[in-house]
Structures are given as C-alpha cells and as structure tokens.
Structure 1
C-alpha cells in the first residue's frame, strides 16, 4: 500500500483556521495566564472552548456522531500541530491530554449507553476526565504489569481499593477511567480491568495535588485514594480482564498526539529564535549572520522536519489499521527529545532575554522537559524498540533458514 501524506483541502483549511484562531484568540489568553493552568479557574477553559466552538474547531478528533469533526490521525497531525503553537491551544480545541486520549478510548471500547453518559458531554466540553493507571512505587508506572490497585467482586458490581498518583487533570474532573487488577498479582501481564468512576462517588478521594516542573496542564496532577469505592457492573469499560489490551488502544495514538501538540510549540520557539536572530546585533552583525547561531537554527529546522516526518508516517500507519507500537515508540522518543533540543537552542539564542519572563521560552522549557517522562520515559521506549528489533531480526533468520 503506498504511503499517503497528502492533505485533503478541507483539512488544510481547518488547520489554517486553527492557526489563525490560536494567534488571534488563544495566545493573548496565554500571555495573561503565563501558560500556567494547574490551578487556573474553570472560566479560562470555558472561555477558550466557547471561542473554539464558535469558530467550528471544537473536538476535531471525535466522530461527527458525538459532536466532533471526525478527523483521521493524519488530519489530527495537521490540526494538533497548529493548536500546539500555544500552551493553551490544545485546551481550547478540547484536544488536550488526558481528555483527548479518553475520548478516543471511549469511542473504541465503550457501550452505547456509556458513550451517551460520558463521551458526549466530554466531547462537548461540558465535563473533563482523567485516566487513573499510574501508582506510587512499587505499583504501575513504566511497567503497567506492576498494577496493584485491586477490584474485588461484590453483589452487583466491584469494589475498588488502591492508590493512584500523578493523575493528570483529576482535580475538577467529572469522571475517571480507572485501571484495577481483577485477576492475578502485580507483575502478571494480564488480569487488569478498566472502570468508569464518577468523581463524586464515595470512596474516591483526591488526597493531594502534586507540585511539578510543568504547570501547563489544566487541573494539574493529583494523588487519588480508592477505599471501598463500589461501582456497578455497567461501569466496566469493555470486558473484564482486558484492561491492558485496551490501554494499548489508548496509548499508541496518545503518544503520537502528544508529539503533534509539542511539535507546534517547538515551531513557536523556533519562530521566536528566528525573530531574535534576525533583529539582534552583536559583534558588528546580526546574530543570524554568525556561524554558531546559524548552526543552532539549522539543527532546529532539521529536528522539526524529522519530527513531522515521523509523526506523519506513524499517523498513516495507524489510519491503515496497523498497531503501530514500534513506530509510535520511535516517534515518541525522538520527538520528545527533539522538541527539548529546539526549545533549549531557542532560549540559548535569545540569551538573557530567553531566561526572562519577557518572552515565554523559559515557560516552554519547563513544560517540554516532562514529555521525556510521561507516556513512557525515553529509556523504556528504547528498551522496547530494541527488543522488537531483535525479535524481528530473529524471525527473519528463522524464515531464511526454513
């Protein structure tokens, strides 16, 4: 099958409308808030999403049956990158983590009744959500099989007991998708189930909000305790004991959409650097005429172009129905590090101005650093990439010998 990177005219138009909306509406709000959303008031989110709704840009990734624009993964790559040009752009379009990934999972796995109860208001921006899988050590983290939170059968449903932490967007969320062990023991590769848990359900408590390097995610990151939290059978998302398989349904596309959004911010950082290099004079010439500055700018252009190519290729693969685990791991690892390099170079080019609050580069640097940790740290992805490569090579040798 030939690789298709062509952009449909309607998608190109949507991306252009997003570009203008972000510059004219979103960036002024970013300037007012400093891009800090951990404890931003709900009215900021409502204001931005009302603007996106009026512009016909809200929830472009969700199917039209649920109020979205029905973009495929390649279309998302174009629009999400434009939205990511501002820290607040993804929030405005309702494509920010963790809601974007949760919408994708609900569309793929939820029952019709669950979609009506959870997906429809989430896609409309009426509520927010969170995804509760990560646990304090020695629980689930980079290794999901360490899952320790347990769901026990009770009459008519399940009782959830355990502790989750670093749960993004939990504060103020309407519901959580909770991963709990329904079989086996920590370390086992199976036995996990996903549950839809309303935030006001007794037994689910936000114990504390974490102070973190990044501050650009609405609702921040929280630690949650589940203590005798009982849900009905109708709150099981998908099938019992299939939670790890459903996590892959969510995680591979979610890794890629993170890349799309952060690539937009890398472009913004590069634009700031280009503007500074083209106007600032030192040593008798503009910075842009100095060899070392030219190398910084060129290396950032290379990182941006390579990141976009990896994103588009992986997006195409996912649209063909391929699992894309290897490709999404490669994209996530490369883009997370490339985006950090671009922002760091841009700050270096801007010098003292770069580390000041007069321009947003220091804010960007704090935000993008965390991308090398969440959705699998670079080291975990490199381990998985190498393991798959070795297995693929071994299979090739076996086939050649047969």
Structure 2
C-alpha cells in the first residue's frame, strides 16, 4: 500500500498551509480584538478581507465535490471539485485556527447546506440560495436538533411541516442552530414531520426557510462552555405558523432522512479533519511550553511523563489521520452510505483523540491553558462538543457494533 500523498493532494494542502502561515496565523490577535470591540454580532472586517484574498488565490469552496457526483442543472459552481481525500489534508490545515474555515468559504453549516442544495436542490433553489452561498455573501443555518426530545434519534423530531394549499406551515422549536447569530444568515434548511402517520423513516422532510419569514424568532444564543462563538453563534429558534412556498420543499415529502444521510456523512468527517489540525497545533504548543518552563530546578520537558504524552500524542494523531483518510477514500470510492462504518469510526475517534491531546497541552500551560492567552480552552470546548454534534458517540458506536455483528452473522451463515 502506498500512503504517499499524490501531487494534487500535496499541492492543495501546501497552498492552504502557505495561506494560513502568511495571512491567518499572524491575524489571530486582530480577530479577537475585533470580536471584543463594538457589536460582537456583526461580520468582522478581518474575515471579509481574508475571504477576498483566499478567493483571489483560488482557495475557495474547497469542499465542493466533483461536479459529476451531483446533478447541478447546468449550474456553474465555483470551486476546484476536490475529492474527500484531497480536501481532508487541506481541511486539517484550516483546523489549526477556529475561525479559519470561513476564510475559505468552508465553514459549517454552510458546507453541508451547499452540498444539500447541490445534490438535492432544483434549479430555482440553487439559483436563489446556492449561488450566494458559494459566493460567500450570505450564511445559512441547519435546523434539525430540538430541545424537547432526544435528537440523537432523529425520528423523535416533532416540528410539524403541514401542507396548506401552495404553502407549508411550520411550527416547532429548534436549537443548536449554528450561524443564526450572524446577520448574514438568510436561509435555513429545516427538518420536520410532514406525515406523522407514515413509516417512521418517511415521516420527515426538509424545507428551505428564509429567516426573515414572519413567525421565525431567534430566542437566544447558546454557549459552549461559556463560548458564544460570536459573530457566528448557535441559536434557539422558535417557528410559529411560519408559511413558506411549497416550492421550498427539498426533493419531496418523506425524503428527509435520505437528504440527511447525504448531508451528514461529509459534514461529520469535515469536523474530524479539522480536529486533527487542532490536535497537531495543541501538540506543538505543548512542546514549546514544556521546553521553555522550569519547575523544581529543571525544564518541565525533562520530566518523563511528558515523553510518554508526546509519544502517545504523535501515535494517536497519525493513527487518526489514517482512519480519516480511509473514511474519505471509502466515500470517494463507494459513496457515503457504503462508507457509513468508516464515517462512524472516525467521528468517534477524532474528537476523543483531539480532546485528550488538548487536555495535556492545557496541563502543560497551567493557568495560561484555561485562559484566553492560548487557543487551547476554545479547542477543548470544540473537541468536547464534537462528541455530541452530528450524533453522539454512543449512536456511532451502535452503528459500528451493528455492522460488525451483521458481518459476523453473515460469516457464520446465520439467518
């Protein structure tokens, strides 16, 4: 087996890494200054400047799949059409800075929403919403999780999408609706029930909801271990008698789970790619810190516990990267559904690995590690939240276990 990256994979990874080194890393302090000054819920001039530079450099919409993989209705989409494997190495680089993915128009939930519109939207939906999303002029939200039910089982979702002539009327409450704090967030893809009496996986549908529609209210912004992620944010959204045109329905009634499988697979491993980047940076910060600090008469690096942690971190990062690339390759070769075991495995492994290494880096920094003076505390909050986002660990472990048991039953020729 040849694990050497191809020239194309290396080229895109190195281009993104060079842009990060020249433009993003030097601007981290300015980013936090801009967030802290004025209205925290307004777009930041820095990010807009860097978006223009990234687009001019051809580093834009890197996640968009090759056009032959989706019907695009003659839609000219703006992106290099990288495979999942090609994008994985580039996404790892952007994961080193929490806000960097937006610079390349590769931030969630826009990435997943753009893929939904690309794969499942009709020509009118693509023209109205995909075009400005790909241009980076608007943001979008994904409204799936609900506070009143265990959303790890999406069949529990209660939000109602009821047909009324040429419209659908939506009633429900959603939360963890990322990007709803951003004034540029103009549209949401919402999952709800169109037919509660149908077979359990045919009850749900997805529909486009412009956020300026009467009856849509962002009640509050939620925090993750105290981080509100301004100006992006994660909102709790109430929908009361929200009327949208029937043409806003995606793909058809009862197709919600089908769309969700197409959306969540890539999104899950995008998170994992970026988590690997966070872990790499945490390890670098750990080594720099223990090399520069003295405790009890000698550099901290001379205490053997750090040898063990550094070695374990390198082993775990490299193993996780290989598993992530395996999942990406399986998706490229066989599709998201066929790769569901690999996707589930990396979704469990990557956040756990990143959280453990970030925790060691925090320990090495002492009080500085939990302060705003390093990115480690925010990294930790993200890595921990990723063990819940896009399905908790237990759901993915259940998927893996069931696939393994099915394989074993088949091998024993059991009924």
Determine if the TM-score, normalized by the shorter chain, exceeds 0.5. yes
Higher relative CO (CA 8 A, sep ≥ 6), structure 1 or 2? 1
Residue deviations 1:76-120, cap 9 Å, x none? Answer: 101100111111211211111111111122111111221121111
1:341 and 2:356 matched: yes
Partner of 1:176: helix, strand, or coil? strand
Structure 2 segments unaligned to the other structure (5+ residues): 68-75
1:147 and 2:157 matched: yes
Question: Contact (CA 8 Å) 1:39, 1:219: kept in 2 or not?
Answer: no
Residue deviations 1:55-96, cap 9 Å, x none? Answer: 221211225731111111001101100111111211211111
In structure 2, what is the Cα distance between the partners aligned to 1:6 and 1:145? 42
Q: CA deviation at 1:157?
A: 2.5
In structure 1, what is the Cα distance between the partners aligned to 2:159 and 2:219? 16
- Count, aligned residues: 397
Residue deviations 1:275-320, cap 9 Å, x none? Answer: 1233334445433333111111111111211110110000000001
Question: Contact (CA 8 Å) 1:5, 1:312: kept in 2 or not?
Answer: no
Question: Contact (CA 8 Å) 2:219, 2:235: kept in 1 or not?
Answer: yes
Paired position in structure 1 for 2:73: none
CA 381–24 in structure 1, closer or farther in 2 if over 3 Å, else same:
same
Structure 1 segments unaligned to the other structure (5+ residues): none
Paired position in structure 2 for 1:162: 172
Select which of 372, 382, 399 maps to 1:384.
Answer: 399
Question: Contact (CA 8 Å) 1:300, 1:345: kept in 2 or not?
Answer: no
The aligned runs of 1:329-368 (5 Å cut-off) are 329-368=344-383
The aligned runs of 1:165-184 (5 Å cut-off) are 165-171=175-181, 172=183, 173-184=185-196
Question: Contact (CA 8 Å) 2:228, 2:234: kept in 1 or not?
Answer: no
Paired position in structure 1 for 2:30: 32
Partner of 1:197: helix, strand, or coil? strand
1:115 and 2:115 matched: no
1:308 and 2:321 matched: yes
1:19 and 2:43 matched: no
* Bigger mean CA deviation after superposition, 331-340 or 57-66: 57-66
Q: CA deviation at 1:31?
A: 2.2
The aligned runs of 1:3-402 (5 Å cut-off) are 6-34=4-32, 39-44=40-45, 45-62=47-64, 65-138=76-149, 141-171=151-181, 172=183, 173-184=185-196, 188-213=200-225, 214-216=227-229, 218-322=231-335, 323=337, 324-398=339-413
* Bigger mean CA deviation after superposition, 165-174 or 30-39: 30-39
Residue deviations 1:337-368, cap 9 Å, x none? Answer: 00000101111122333234332222322222
TM-score (norm 1): 0.92
